[in-house]
């Protein structure tokens, strides 16, 4: 007589833990994707909005897709904090006025600091110098204190569909996106 052994499936706690981990990961991915939905809210210009009094208070507006560049050469970057802060504030206020917006209703939303580098250097060298300038500018320009700031190393960049030369080591370009509390007429592509 032939006997057949009945084999039980080999289920170890490692197998169960792996499936449990996969299920938890899938659930977190679904929650993460679901929470990243962006809602665009149009705020009419005649509405009454609270002024941006405190840095921690929420401030509502629309981020303009039309960025602009603030060029900082090596001599200005090496100058005093007051001179550098004045160059940045003057350029930002000039751009806001040129757009026909109120300075009180506009603030920076995102700043990308690009650092130049020499031909024998790499983009990483430009990024390292951009990080140092980012720390300094965040400290001396009050409008940048609570703004998202990113860095990068580059020899040139396209800003608002125009090529901007960043320059060599010690030269910088700040690419600024503005947040405006009124209506914005713009065409974003």
CATH number of the domain that 149 lies in? Answer: 3.30.1330
Question: Does residue 32 lie in a domain region?
Answer: no
Question: Does residue 187 lie in a domain region?
Answer: no
Alpha-carbon distance 141 to 72, whole Å?
14
Question: Does residue 189 lie in a domain region?
Answer: no
Question: Does residue 77 lie in a domain region?
Answer: yes
Alpha-carbon distance 170 to 77, whole Å?
7
Alpha-carbon distance 158 to 178, whole Å?
17
0.75 cut: is pTM over it?
A: no
Question: Does residue 186 lie in a domain region?
Answer: no
Question: With 60 as the cut, is the pLDDT of residue 28 above it?
Answer: yes
| pLDDT (mean) for 10-30 | 68
Question: Does residue 91 lie in a domain region?
Answer: yes
Chain segment 39-58, per-residue pLDDT in tens: 445 555 554 555 555 455 55
The number of folded domains in the chain is 1
Find the range with the poorest average confidence among 44-48, 139-143, 153-157, 184-188: 44-48
- Nearest Cα neighbor of 152 from 181, 131, 177 is 131
Question: Does residue 128 lie in a domain region?
Answer: yes
| pLDDT (mean) for 168-178 | 91
The overall average pLDDT reported for the chain is 79
Model pLDDT, residue 153: 92
Give the other-Cβ count within 10 Å of 54's Cβ.
10
* Tokens describing residue 173: 């370009």
Strand partners, 158: 163
Question: Does residue 120 lie in a domain region?
Answer: yes
Alpha-carbon distance 154 to 127, whole Å?
8
Q: Are 125 and 172 in contact (CB under 8 A)?
A: no
Question: With 80 as the cut, is the pLDDT of residue 152 above it?
Answer: yes
Greater confidence, 146 or 19?
146
Range of the domain at 93: 62-180
Greater confidence, 97 or 30?
97
């Amino acid at each position: 007589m032939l006997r057949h052994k009945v084999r039980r499936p080999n289920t170890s706690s490692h197998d169960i833990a792996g499936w449990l981990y996969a299920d938890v990961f899938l659930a977190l991915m679904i929650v993460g994707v679901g929470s990243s939905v962006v809602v665009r809210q149009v705020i009419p210009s005649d509405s009454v909005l609270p002024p941006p009094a405190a840095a921690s208070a929420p401030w509502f507006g629309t981020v303009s897709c039309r960025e602009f560049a603030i060029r900082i050469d090596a001599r200005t970057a090496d100058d005093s904090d007051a001179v550098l802060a004045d160059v940045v504030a003057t350029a930002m206020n000039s751009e806001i006025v040129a757009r026909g917006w109120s300075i009180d209703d506009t603030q920076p939303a995102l700043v990308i600091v690009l650092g130049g580098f020499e031909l024998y250097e790499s983009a990483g060298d430009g990024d390292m110098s951009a990080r140092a300038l980012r720390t300094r500018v965040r400290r001396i320009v009050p409008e940048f204190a609570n703004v998202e700031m990113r860095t990068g190393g580059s020899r040139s960049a396209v800003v608002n569909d125009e090529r901007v030369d960043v320059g060599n080591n010690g030269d910088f370009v700040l690419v600024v996106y503005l947040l405006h509390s009124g209506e914005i007429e713009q065409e974003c592509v």
